[in-house]
Structure 1
Amino acid sequence: MTNWIQLLKNGNKPALLAAIVNVIIAALKAGAFFLTGNVAMFAEMMHSIGDAANQLFVYVGSALSKKAPTPKYPNGFGRIVNLVCLGAVLIVAILSYETIVGGIHHLLNPSESGGLWINLAVLGIGIVLESFVLYKASKEVFHDAGIEHVGLSSYPKSFKHLKKAKPPTKLVFMEDLVATSGGLIAFAAVLLAHFFGWFAAEGVASIIIGVMMFYVVGKVFLENARGAIGETDEEMLAHIAHLLADDQDIVDIQRVEVVKEGEFLHVEIIAEVATSNTVEYVLNVKDRLLTTILNQKGIQDVIISLVGDDGVESWTGTNSSNLTENRKKLPE
């Protein structure tokens, strides 16, 4: 039991915060929907329920992914977070479908809903809380990217660093971005329906929110599917190739593999050293390289094989499109 508690402490904190906040928001929106029958509120309720379930699963998955390798699972559990994210987006897909169907039904059969101030108050609270979670997620994006947080300006700047964020952080950020935007759209729809008599606006809002949810489904699904299979991290591969090429003891590089599994990177290297070196010297070089590479961000384990110089140049020092095919040429 203690081990499980310790694992959960290492889970993705923004995902846990987002799950708690979305449970509160979902309860408020459910109450408002049952009191007023507002279709835009129904869409927002479904969205918050889906987000709460997703983010709870992602939090648990991110914690389990940090479990140490065992004899039965020697490669560790890094890909669990990708599998959990894949399962989470299926929930969002189902709720997205129901949201769009509800919106279409209201669009074809528009009707007036009451409780203006209840709807606006609940949506307003939801927007404020979702904005707070989105801000926390943007800070985590910077943390994952290894960049110092820069205050409120981190939110707009976080988009360009989003690709470097861990899968759980990216999922929370995208879901809360859609949730905040969806809240604003639903808020506008309620105002249009009440003050301008355009009752179909709530149905339009529901459809737009559902489509945005589907976008998150597609984006997150593709990224985590690649992670579950095992994707090469080209940026880190290039960085490690530079470290090796700049090392005075490395004569040539035959192969570098950097595979991303969940939040972690696994590295495999085959490099050449001068044949005149003693075994003891080569072992010291290997230990030094292991320490250097393990200190790079996100790397969990490294396998290094040092062989004698074969006199044939494998690394050209230029970027090559054949890198993923033959692993003989490494980028600059």
Structure 2
Amino acid sequence: MKDIFSLLKQGSKSSLIASIVNFIIAGLKGVAFLLTANVAMFAEMMHSIGDAINQLFVYIGSSLSKKAPTARFPFGFGRLVNLVCLFAIIVVAILSYETIREGIHHIVAPLPTETDTTMLLINIGVLAGAALLESFVLYKAGKEVLQQADQPYDGLKPLTKSFLCIKRAKPATKLVFMEDTVATAGALLAITAILIARFTGFGASEGIASVIIGLMMFYIVYKVFMENAAGVLGEHDPHMEARISQIVLRHAAIKDIKKLFVLKEGDSLHVEVVAEIDPDLTSRQVNDIRNEIEAVIMEQKHVTDVNMEFELDDGQRTWPETQKEMDER
């Protein structure tokens, strides 16, 4: 039991917070939907339920992925978070479909426009509160995105600059950030649809808002599925490969890089390097070089192991030249 709690402590905090917040929001939206029968509120409720379930699965998956390697699984459980995300996204896909289907139904046969001011205030109040809570979670997730991308995260940067760094975030953090972006936008869209229906009599606006929210959810399904499918298969990290190549080539004894790739295993990175060295070096010197370079690589974020091998310099350049060499040339 202690091992389980220890693993849960290592899970994605942003996923856990987002799940709790979205369950609370879904409950509020559900009550509002029962009181008002507002289709835009129904779509928002479904969206919040999907987000809450998804983020809970991601939290559990990100926790279990930290489990230490075993004899049966020597490379660890890093890809487990990708598998959990793929499973959870099926739930979101089903909810997305239901949201779009319900929206189309109310576009074809819109309900009478709500004229009761009390019901209007309930809908607007719940959605406004949801937007504030979702924006809070979005800010926290954006802050984690910038931290994981080694970027400053003060002020409003988590809500602005984080969109430019999303590709460098961990799978769990990326998912929370994307889902809460859609959730915040969806709440504001639902408020707009309700106001349009109330003051213009265009009842189909709520159905249109439901369809748009459902399509945004489907976009998340597509992005999450593609990225986590790649993670399950095993994909390389070009950004980290470029950084590690600079570390290796910076060492005076390294003549060239024959092969280098960084494999993602969930949040963990496995590094494989084959470098070329001078044939006159002794075995002790080669071992010292390996230890020095591996120590620096292991200091990089999320790198869990390094396998470095050497070949004799063949006099031909294999790895692309560095920026320094291009500037000198």
**TM-score normalised by the chain length of structure 1:** 0.92
Residues 1:315 and 2:324 are matched in the alignment:
no
Q: CA deviation at 1:241?
A: 1.6
Q: CA deviation at 1:136?
A: 0.7
Counterpart for residue 296 of structure 2: 292
Deviations 1:238-281 (A, max 9, x none): 22222222211123322112111211211111122223222222
Q: How does 1:213-292 map to 2 (within 5 A)?
A: 213-292=217-296
Partner of residue 324, structure 1: none
Deviations 1:48-72 (A, max 9, x none): 0000000000011111111111111
Deviations 1:21-79 (A, max 9, x none): 00100000011111111100000000000000000000111111111111110011111
**Structure 1 residues 147 and 153: alpha-carbon distance in aligned structure 2, compared to 1, 3 A threshold:** closer
State the SS of the aligned residue for 2:11.
coil
Q: CA deviation at 1:314?
A: 4.6
In structure 2, relative to structure 1, the CA distance for the partners of 1:44 and 1:283 (3 Å cut) is same
* Structure 1 residues 1-332: aligned runs within 5 Å: 1-112=1-112, 113=114, 115-307=119-311, 309-318=312-321
What secondary structure is seen at the aligned counterpart in 2 of 1:198? Answer: coil
Q: Mark the runs of 5 or more structure 1 residues left unpaired by the alignment.
A: 320-332
SS across alignment from 2:224: helix
Identity of aligned residues (%): 53
Letter in 1 for 2:158: S
Per-residue deviation at 1:154? Answer: 2.8
Secondary structure, in 3 states, of the residue corresponding to 2:254?
A: coil
> What CA distance in whole angstroms lies between the structure 1 residues aligned with 2:220 and 2:158?
21
- 1:323 aligns to what? none
RMSD: 1.4
Distance 2:310 2:173 in 1: 37
* Structure 1 residues 316 and 152: CA distance shift in structure 2, 3 A: closer
TM-score, normalization by structure 2: 0.93
> What residue number does 2:327 align with?
none
Residue deviations 1:154-205, cap 9 Å, x none?
Answer: 3111111111111111110110010011001111111111222111111111
Aligned residue type for 2:52: A
Superposed displacement of residue 311, structure 1: 2.8
Within 1, Cα distance between the matches of 2:314 and 2:31? 75
- Please state whether the residue corresponding to 2:261 is helix, strand or coil: strand
List, as ranges, runs of 4+ consecutive aligned residues in structure 1 with deviation greater than 4 Å: none
